[in-house]
């Protein structure tokens, strides 16, 4: 087991180096530079551009730029091109904003997707199954922002609550109760709306996984010896159907960065996705690269955790 863990960690470190080199090359070799963000600005003279390129070390050979980036990243001296702020604290602040949204949405997805998927599998072919299948496909097939806009209109009309941003301006002057209720409303509605797609996808997985397990011999045996249907479903079948979902924990984390751009834009939520989007618009290479690097670290760590967890929960799997 430990040799497996050590070997995977080493393999992933190599992968990480390759990923960072690749990302660095893509960003630096693609046309478009920080000095060209505003080419129509008449006050930007050639000597200014030369000064900018000099300051950002854009004239160095690309492998040296890579070395500078890695060096600055690990010594914590990496500065954003746009406002000269250190990159890591900047990302950390945005991460703290994204985290509640992500946790809340994930909780909603997992608590709703499992009952739906199990119920659909148990009632295979009946009205509930067909209805939930169709609804799930409809949700997967709708452009995320289209669904979000329609739901925002409905929520605002029906409940008369604010949904955009993290808080209502000026609310901190009110009582703490009002303040926190306001924060909560601002959190719950974006989470619920961004959770819809996840619920649709995950409940499909749960359903097919349950159907697979329900057809197994040991479930038939349990039924044959007269175990109550609820116990068959929840004790014999569900436990085995859950195994693959342990591995999904690992794939959740990267969604923090990649999956949130659209919803953070819709809800004007100052999180990681927005940070990345603004960095891309402003050609802020250090922020783009560091975000990408962190996402890769999270993905690789996630797959490692899921591999290990899989061996922990499933006694049939042994890594030597």
Partner 1 sequence: MSAAPGHVVAEPAGGPLRASESPLQQAWRMLRRDRLAMAGLAVLALLAVAAGAGKVLTEWYVVFDPAAVRLPEKLRAPLSVADAERVAPEDLPALGIYLLGTDELGRDVFARMLQGSFVSLSIGFVAVGISVAIGILIGGLSGYYGNVKLGFITVDTLLMRFTDVMLSFPTFFLILTVVALLPPSIYNIMIVIGVTSWMGTARLVRGEFLSLREQDFVVAAQALGLPERRIIFRHMVPNAIAPVLVSATIGVASAILTESALSFLGFGVQPPDATWGNILADGRSFIFDAPWLFFVPGAAILVVVLAFNLLGEGLREALNPKLRSR
Q: Say how far apart CA 38 and CA 46 lie, in whole Å.
A: 13
Under the criterion CB under 8 A, does residue 270 sit at the interface with partner 1? no
Q: Say how far apart CA 198 and CA 146 lie, in whole Å.
A: 16
Cβ proximity to partner 1: between 31 and 46 the closer is 31
Q: Say how far apart CA 69 and CA 63 lie, in whole Å.
A: 10
Under the criterion CB under 8 A, does residue 299 sit at the interface with partner 1? yes
Under the criterion CB under 8 A, does residue 127 sit at the interface with partner 1? no
- Residue 175 token pair: 């009582």
CB of 254 to partner 1, least distance (A): 6
Supply the DSSP symbol for 31: S
Under the criterion CB under 8 A, does residue 291 sit at the interface with partner 1? yes
Binding residues with partner 1: total (CB under 8 A):
43
Under the criterion CB under 8 A, does residue 296 sit at the interface with partner 1? yes
Q: Which of 9, 13, 18, 248 binds partner 1 (CB under 8 A)?
A: 18
Cβ proximity to partner 1: between 135 and 227 the closer is 135
Cβ proximity to partner 1: between 116 and 260 the closer is 260
Cβ proximity to partner 1: between 19 and 195 the closer is 19
Cβ-count burial 24-61 (b if 16+ within 10 Å, e if not) = beebeeeeebbbebeeeeeeeeeeebeebeeebebeee
CB of 204 to partner 1, least distance (A): 9
Q: Which of 3, 38, 84, 146 binds partner 1 (CB under 8 A)?
A: 146
Under the criterion CB under 8 A, does residue 134 sit at the interface with partner 1? yes
Q: Which of 65, 97, 142, 216 binds partner 1 (CB under 8 A)?
A: 142
Q: Are 35 and 29 in contact (CB under 8 A)?
A: no
CA-nearest of 77, 3, 83, 19 to 300 is 19
Question: CB pairs under 8 A, 24+ apart, for 21-26?
Answer: 21/66, 23/289, 23/292, 23/293, 23/296, 24/62, 24/65, 24/66, 24/69, 24/289, 25/62
> Given the rule CB under 8 A, which residues bind partner 1?
11, 15, 18-19, 22-23, 26-27, 30-32, 134, 137-138, 140-146, 149-150, 153, 254, 257-259, 261-262, 265, 276-277, 280-281, 283, 288, 291-292, 295-296, 299-300
């Amino acid at each position: 087991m430990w040799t497996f863990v050590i070997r995977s960690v080493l393999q992933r470190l190599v992968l990480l180096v390759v990923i960072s080199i690749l990302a660095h090359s893509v960003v630096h070799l693609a046309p478009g530079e920080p000095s060209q963000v505003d080419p129509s600005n008449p006050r930007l003279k050639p000597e200014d551009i030369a000064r900018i390129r000099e300051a950002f070390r854009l004239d160095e050979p690309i492998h040296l730029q890579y070395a500078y980036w890695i060096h600055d990243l690990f010594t914590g001296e990496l500065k954003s091109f746009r406002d000269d702020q250190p990159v890591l604290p900047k990302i950390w602040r945005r991460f703290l904003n994204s985290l509640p949204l992500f946790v809340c949405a994930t909780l909603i997805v997992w608590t709703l997707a499992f009952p739906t998927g199990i119920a659909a599998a148990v009632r295979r072919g009946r009205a509930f199954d067909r209805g939930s299948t169709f609804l799930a496909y409809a949700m997967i097939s709708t452009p995320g922002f289209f669904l979000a806009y329609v739901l925002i209109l409905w929520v605002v009309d029906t409940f008369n609550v604010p949904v955009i941003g993290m808080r209502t301006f000026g609310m901190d002057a009110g009582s703490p109760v009002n303040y926190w209720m306001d924060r909560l409303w601002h959190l719950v509605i974006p989470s619920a709306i961004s959770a819809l797609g996840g619920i649709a996808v995950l409940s499909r997985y749960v359903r097919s996984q349950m159907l697979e397990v329900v057809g197994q011999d040991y479930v038939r045996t349990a039924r044959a010896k007269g175990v109550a249907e609820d116990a068959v479903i929840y004790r014999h079948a569900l436990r085995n159907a859950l195994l693959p979902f342990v591995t999904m924990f690992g794939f959740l984390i990267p969604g923090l960065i990649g999956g949130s751009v659209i919803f953070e834009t819709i809800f004007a939520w100052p999180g990681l996705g927005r940070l990345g989007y603004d960095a891309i618009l402003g050609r802020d290479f250090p922020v783009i690269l560091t975000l990408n690097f962190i996402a890769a670290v999270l993905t690789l760590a996630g797959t490692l955790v899921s591999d290990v967890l899989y061996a922990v929960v499933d006694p049939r799997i042994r890594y030597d």
